[in-house]
Amino acid sequence: MTMAVTKLRVEEKLYQNRYLVDPGRPHIKVRPHERPSANLLALTHICPAKCYELNDKGQVETTPDGCMECGTCRVLCEASGEIVWNYPRGGFGVLFKFG
């Protein structure tokens, strides 16, 4: 299975969901780094909303617009300081219709 197909699929899935994005206030940030750790690199595969991707310099970047606020990345990478995690402001972020 190619990455392109996988990416397309998860975007299609996320398209079903309702989000209220807080413009300019991402609730997750990746700290600048030279080389990502194993856990940070793993997020590019295991984040269920595919919020993490590698840039062409081999560093991990995040766009948390489609984030479902599960906390997987926080459990793996907050303690090491590689990411900064907060909940979106009240009312913003994912809005589950069914949950």
Partner 1 sequence: MIEEEFDAIVVGAGMSGNAAAYTMASQGLAVLQLERGEYPGSKNVQGAIMYADMLEQIIPDFRNDAPLERHLVEQRFWVMDDTSHTGMQYRSDDFNEARPNRYTIIRAQFDKWFSRKVREAGATVLCETTVTELVRNAKGKVIGVRTDRAGGPIYANVVVLAEGVNGLLGTRAGLRKMPKPESVALAVKEMHFLPDEVIEQRFGLQGDEGCVIEAAGTISRSMAGLAFLYTNKESISLGIGCLVSDFAQTRESPYVLLDAFKHHPSIRPLIAGSEVKEYSAHLIPEGGYKAIPQLFGDGWVAVGDAAQLNNAIHREGSNLAMTSGRIAGEAIIEIKGRNQPMIRRNLALYKTMLDKSFVVKDLMKYKDMPDLIHTNSRNFFMTYPQLMSQAAQNFMRVDGTPKIEKEKATTAAFIKARSRWGLISDVVRLALAWR
Residue with tokens 């398209």: 15
User: Which tokens sit at 64?
Assistant: 């948390």
Site residues for partner 1, 65-84, by CB under 8 A, read 68-72, 74-76, 78-79
Q: How far is the CB of 10 from partner 1 (least distance, A)?
A: 5
The reply on whether position 99 binds partner 1 by CB under 8 A is yes
- Segment contacting partner 1 (CB under 8 A): 28-36, 57-65, 86-94? 86-94
The DSSP letter of residue 65 is G
- For residue 29, the SS3 value is strand
Q: Closest distance between partner 1 and the C-beta of residue 55, in Å?
A: 18
Cβ atoms of 66 and 50 closer than 8 Å: yes
